[in-house]
Every structure is written in structure tokens, then in C-alpha cells.
Structure 1
Amino acid sequence: MNKLQGKDFINIGIFTAIYFIVIFAVASIGFIPIFIPLISVIVPLVGGIPMMLFFSKIRKFGMITVSGLLLGIIMLITGMGYWCILTGIVFGLLSDLALKACGYKNYKREILTHGLFSMWVIGAFIPIVVTRADYYQNLLPGYGEEYADTLMSYMPDWILPVLLAASFISGIAGGIIGYRIFKKHFERAGIA
């Protein structure tokens, strides 16, 4: 039985919801402009805790991709734009391929996979760089000119590759933390 079934979708839904609640709470620091770039570090670091528990339960291809899609949709609904749907699917699919390649039985690969999956957060930053003028104009009514100017000064045009690398590295660190916290779950699942 390699197809996703009801139990799999329940696990995906539960862990995606837990992950979103955790990262949403942490990402609230973004109300202070200087912390916006740090979201690409803090979200993967803290998000590694629930996601590594989820990874210990994954045995079928597609579970991370569906989770990435759901995260993207939730981000769209919460006003973060559609880019997170694309990055959620892309990095979810790449993560599914990485876990399938190790047969879902290698905790070191799962830690690296969490780093790979964590790169989906770049979708929240793409509009700031790609549609910079429009993004700036959209900020003005709700946040004011001072906030918008400050945010743009912390998010230069060249920052996307830096944030992508930061999210990968921080995702690995978050994966290590999550693995250590849930080591017994990995051992019970036979993931060495």
C-alpha cells in the first residue's frame, strides 16, 4: 500500500497545523522590521521540533509535498501571497524524493531533509524582492511609511540567496534539535 490513505492525511493535517501554529507564533517577531530577515532562521530552527516528529512517522511518498501545499495555502489565506504555495510544493516534493531515496530509515538524511524542506519559507520573501515597488505600496496603508522604509532597508535586492542558505542551515540545526527531543520516536520507528 504505497498510496496515501485516511490515516496519512490525518497525520499530515495534524502536523501541518501544529507546525503552522508554532511558526506563526515565532514569525510574529516580524512586526519589528529588523527581525524580518531573521524569520528565515528562527522559523526553521523552531519548526524542526514538530516537523522531525512528523518525519519519524512518514513512510509514504507525497506526505511532505501535501504538507508543503497546505502550508502555502494557509500562508496565502493569512495574507502572505501565493509564492509560498509554489515553494511549499517544490521543497515538499524535493524533500519527499530525499526521504524516499533513503527508504525512510535514516535519521541523518531526515535531518538534512528538514533543512531542504525549510527552504519553503523563501516564498514569504520573494514578493519583497521581485515585486518590490508594489510590495512597498501595499505596506503603506497598514504599516506606514517609516515601517515600510525600514523594512526595505533590511531587505536589499540581493538578499534571497542569503535567506535561502540561512533557512537550509537553520533547518538542519532545527532538525538536530527535533531529532534529539524525539530520539525515542525515531528508535521505535526503526530509523537509524
Structure 2
Amino acid sequence: MKTKNTNGKDLITTGIYTALYIVALFAASVANVTPLTFMFYPAVASLLGGTFFLMLAIKVKNSFSIIVWGIIVGLLFLVLGMGMALPFFVVGAVVGQLIIAKSGHKSLGMITLAYIITSVCSVGGYAQLFFTTDSYLKEASARGLTDDFVNGLSKYATGTFLAVIILVTAAAALCGIMAGRLIMKKHLVKAGVI
């Protein structure tokens, strides 16, 4: 099934679900209270944002809605000082859009896979911490984080911990979509997704 072209209604709907996803991102920021919980922010955000991604994927059947979502969310992270998130979000959103479009926006499995991929890509916002640790920690100190917090971050900046974050984020994204499925079951049936 071919996806339709973008129109004004689609852009408004994309904007609404993107805004709701951003609210979920801000709610997830409660995870930033300790260095350990900070590392799992992408997982918490993926869990809370799953419903809004799911609704965007089934409500807007055009070729660019997920990409627009990814660009807006990536730009938000750029403004908030996590510039590395932008390219990862855009790449994840492009891959996610291709996967969802291939199924005609009708496969819950493909929407779930797309969300897991975009969520895992969101971990890229921490790339600087893992790959240029010293410069990231200096920037964190300059932004006013305490020495204890910065030292805690340095303790978790390992390849093994990165793998753990990726796995937990993927699992949280799956749970987020499943929660969205339960919440929005009636809409999913109507849209022919389940």
C-alpha cells in the first residue's frame, strides 16, 4: 500500500503527537537525578513516549511524519545541549519511516521494530560521553554539574555499560509500544493494525 502525500492535516497531527512525545521526554527527565538513573534516561523516555509514537505511526500515513518527528525531537536535544542526539534521531527516524511505510502503516510488528530502532538511536545522544569522555565531563562540569555527579558519570562511561543501556532502552521501547497498544486498542482495531 502506498503512503499518501503530506497535507496540512497530516502536519498538524504530526505536530500534536510530536508535542505529546516531547511532554513525555520532559516527564522522563526525573531520571536525571543521579548519575546511574541519568544513564537510563533514553529507556525511561522510550517507555513513556511509546503511545504517542504508535498513534503518530497509525494516524499519519504519509512518507515523512516519522522523519519530521525525528528532526523536531533531535533539534530539541540540540537546543538542550545534547547536539550528538540530532544526527542519531534523524537516522533512526529515516530507518523507522522506511520500515513503517513498507508495511503501509498497518503492521504493529513493523511499528514496534521502527520504534525500537529509533529509541536505540536516541542513545546516540550519549555518544560524546562514551567516545570522548574527558571533553564531555569537562563540559558537564562547566554546565554546573557537581563533582560527585561528574565522577559518577565517568564510572559508567564503559562499553559494557553502553551495551546495557542499549538493551534496556530496546526493552523499554517494546514495553512502551505494548502499553500504547493496551491504551489505544480501540483505535488500533479501527485503523486495521490489530
Tell me if both proteins adopt one fold, taking TM over 0.5 as the criterion: yes
Instruction: Please name the residue that 1:163 is paired with.
Output: 165
- Alpha-carbon distance between aligned partners in 1 of 2:71 and 2:114, rounded to the nearest angstrom: 17
Instruction: Please name the residue that 1:11 is paired with.
Output: 13
Q: Would you say how many aligned residue pairs link Structure 1 and Structure 2? A: 191
Instruction: Please name the residue that 1:46 is paired with.
Output: 48
**1:157: Cα distance to partner?**
4.0
Misfit runs of 4+, over 4 Å: none
CA contact (8 A) 1:37 1:155 kept: no
Instruction: Please name the residue that 1:174 is paired with.
Output: 176
Instruction: Please name the residue that 2:97 is paired with.
Output: 96
**1:134: Cα distance to partner?**
0.8
Instruction: Please name the residue that 1:86 is paired with.
Output: 87
- Alpha-carbon distance between aligned partners in 1 of 2:36 and 2:166, rounded to the nearest angstrom: 17
- Alpha-carbon distance between aligned partners in 2 of 1:161 and 1:93, rounded to the nearest angstrom: 23
- Alpha-carbon distance between aligned partners in 1 of 2:110 and 2:42, rounded to the nearest angstrom: 21
Query: Does residue 147 of structure 2 align to residue 145 of structure 1?
Result: yes
SS at match of 2:59: coil
C-alpha distance after superposition, 1:149-175 (max 9, x if no partner)? 011112324433332232222211111
- Alpha-carbon distance between aligned partners in 1 of 2:182 and 2:6, rounded to the nearest angstrom: 28
- Alpha-carbon distance between aligned partners in 1 of 2:42 and 2:76, rounded to the nearest angstrom: 17
Query: Does residue 159 of structure 2 align to residue 130 of structure 1?
Result: no
Unmatched runs of 5 consecutive residues or more in structure 2: none
The one-letter code sitting in structure 1 at the alignment partner of 2:44 is: I
CA contact (8 A) 1:88 1:120 kept: yes
C-alpha distance after superposition, 1:123-158 (max 9, x if no partner)? 221111122111111112301222100111123244
**Root-mean-square deviation (Å):** 1.7
The one-letter code sitting in structure 2 at the alignment partner of 1:96 is: Q
- Alpha-carbon distance between aligned partners in 1 of 2:135 and 2:112, rounded to the nearest angstrom: 37
Tell me: CA distance 1:107–1:157, structure 2 relative to 1, closer, same or farther (3 Å): closer
Instruction: Please name the residue that 2:31 is paired with.
Output: 29
Query: Does residue 190 of structure 2 align to residue 184 of structure 1?
Result: no
Compute the TM-score of the two structures, normalised by the length of structure 1: 0.91
- Alpha-carbon distance between aligned partners in 1 of 2:90 and 2:72, rounded to the nearest angstrom: 9
**1:93: Cα distance to partner?**
0.7
Instruction: Please name the residue that 1:109 is paired with.
Output: 110
Unmatched runs of 5 consecutive residues or more in structure 1: none
- Alpha-carbon distance between aligned partners in 2 of 1:11 and 1:117, rounded to the nearest angstrom: 20
- Alpha-carbon distance between aligned partners in 2 of 1:24 and 1:131, rounded to the nearest angstrom: 26
The one-letter code sitting in structure 1 at the alignment partner of 2:128 is: P
SS at match of 1:79: coil
The one-letter code sitting in structure 2 at the alignment partner of 1:159 is: F
The one-letter code sitting in structure 2 at the alignment partner of 1:137 is: K
- Alpha-carbon distance between aligned partners in 2 of 1:132 and 1:157, rounded to the nearest angstrom: 12
**1:182: Cα distance to partner?**
0.4
- Alpha-carbon distance between aligned partners in 2 of 1:25 and 1:107, rounded to the nearest angstrom: 25
**1:89: Cα distance to partner?**
0.9
SS at match of 1:191: coil
